[in-house]
Every structure is written in structure tokens, then in C-alpha cells.
Amino acid sequence: MSRALTCSLAVLAVLAAAPAAWVAPEKAAVDLFEDASDLTAQLKKAVAGRVMIDELTLYRDSASLDIQDPKRKENIDRWKYRDGKLAFPPDPVKLSGDYTQADLDAAVFPLESIDFKLIPVMIEDAKARLKMPDGKVTVLTLKRGFPFNDEVRWHVSATDARHTGSVEYDLKGKKKSVWKE
């Protein structure tokens, strides 16, 4: 067999095997931007008492939640959720600065006040308002806006090849502010 024919056959063999060897990327076990019901169910089971949140940071596949300890309200614990599992025990959060228990109590808000079904709507709205149709939203945060305001707000951050921006929403999904670089 000639060298050219041998090389051609080798290339054909590799190409014929390629589709069988290609494997589609695995879908993430959880997509918190679409459905956070498992996260909330696990939190309600893990936290003995009403779940009061100081800050929520939500990624597509994981979350970090700073939650007031219902048994010792002066404490905040950081709960981490990844791959469909809530890590236990939570990590203690060191609080610093000059604050009172009343300040801490005023900063937290109940888990049941969050409508996670608004997340896909806010993501699409943020990309439209920021004029980033191909923008990627990688993180959402939810916390009270101290010291600038006392309202609990979602902060939806988006980026594309040329810009970075964010849109703030209240708990009902109403736009409060827009920022773009």
C-alpha cells in the first residue's frame, strides 16, 4: 500500500471514530437561576427555626448564604450550597464594626420573602436594560442596601465582551437602578 493511501485510511479511521468519541458536556446537576426550590427546602430542614438572611450570593450552580443563627441571634453563619448539597456545619462569620443587636436584626430578612421564580425574568430584563443581549449573568446578590437605603435588593451583574453592568431590583422584581461601564 502506498504511503498516501495509508495516511488517507488513517485519517478516515480517526474521523469515523470521532463522533463516537465525542461526548456532550454534562448538564449541571442544579441550575439555581432556573430553580432554587431544592436549596430552600434543604435550608428549611437544616436551620432550626425561621431562616433569616443577611446576604445571599447566588451563582448558577452554587450559593452562599449568611444566615442569622435562630438560637443565638448575635451570630451569623455562612451556609454553602454546591452540587445539590448544603454543606454542614455552616462556617461562622466574623462581624466587625460598631453595631448593635437591633442593627443586626434590622439587616436580616426572611427566606420566605424571596420569590426565586423572578430570577429568570430579572436576568433577561437586566440584559435588555444593559443592552447586552449576549451578556452573561454569573452572579446575583440579595441584601439590604445599608447605608444607602434600607430596602432588600437583588443585584444582577452582567458582562459581555465590551461592558460590565448591573441592575438592582426590589423583592418583587421592580427595577430600582441601572449601572453600566
Is the residue at 121 inside a domain? yes
CA-CA-CA-CA torsion sign (171, 147, 71, 140): positive
Is the residue at 2 inside a domain? no
pLDDT at 26 (0 to 100)? 56
C-alpha cell at 146: 445599608
pLDDT at 82 (0 to 100)? 95
Q: What is the pTM of this model?
A: 0.81
Q: Which residues contact 175 (CB under 8 A, 6 or more apart)?
A: 125, 129, 167, 168, 169
How many domains is the chain partitioned into structurally? 1
pLDDT at 150 (0 to 100)? 86
Domain region containing 76: 37-180
Is the residue at 175 inside a domain? yes
3-state SS class at 117: helix
- In 3D space, the residue among 60, 154, 142, 70 whose CA is nearest the CA of residue 104 turns out to be 70
Is the residue at 13 inside a domain? no
3-state SS class at 164: strand
Is the residue at 31 inside a domain? no
What does the alpha-carbon distance between residue 105 and residue 107 come to, in Å, rounded to a whole number?
A: 5
Is the residue at 170 inside a domain? yes
Instruction: Collect contacts of 83-87 with beta carbons under 8 A, ≥24 apart.
Output: 83/29, 83/30, 84/29, 84/30, 84/38, 85/42, 86/39, 86/42, 86/43, 86/46
Is the residue at 126 inside a domain? yes
Phi, psi dihedral angles at 20 (to 5 degrees):
-70, -30
Segments in the chain below pLDDT 70: 1-28, 146-147
pLDDT at 28 (0 to 100)? 57
Is the residue at 18 inside a domain? no
Write the Ramachandran bin of 48: left for phi over 0, alpha for psi from -120 to 50, otherwise beta.
beta
Rg (CA), the chain: 23
